[in-house]
């Protein structure tokens, strides 16, 4: 009985640990997602800036 109780305790601890690990992993994944989104936004900004400059350069200049 003692053996099974010990095994049960270890099992439950393992479950708790797995839960904690999952939480940590989710948090890390969220942070990575934020970083990726920021990088994409930056890239979009850069391309739009370039496009805007091209637009300005292609406009017929009014003197």
- Straight-line distance from the first to the last Cα atom of the chain, in angstroms, rounded to the nearest whole number: 96
Q: Is the pLDDT of residue 47 over 70?
A: yes
Query: Is 9 domain-assigned?
Result: yes
- C-alpha 27/C-alpha 22 separation (Å) is 9
> Average pLDDT over the chain, rounded to whole?
86
Domain that holds residue 30: 1-58
| Within-domain flag for 5 | yes
Q: Tell me how far apart the alpha carbons of residues 20 and 10 are, in angstroms, rounded to a whole number.
A: 15
Total domain count, the chain: 1
**pLDDT class for 63, splitting at 50, 70, 90?**
low
pLDDT surpasses 80 at 26 = yes
Q: Is residue 63 part of a domain?
A: no
Angle at 46 between CA 45 and CA 47, to 5 degrees: 95
């Amino acid at each position: 009985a003692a053996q099974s109780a010990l095994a049960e305790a270890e099992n439950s601890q393992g479950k708790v640990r797995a839960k904690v690990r999952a939480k940590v992993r989710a948090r890390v994944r969220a942070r990575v997602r934020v970083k990726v989104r920021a990088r994409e936004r930056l890239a979009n900004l850069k391309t739009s800036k370039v496009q805007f400059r091209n637009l300005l350069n292609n406009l017929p200049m009014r003197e």
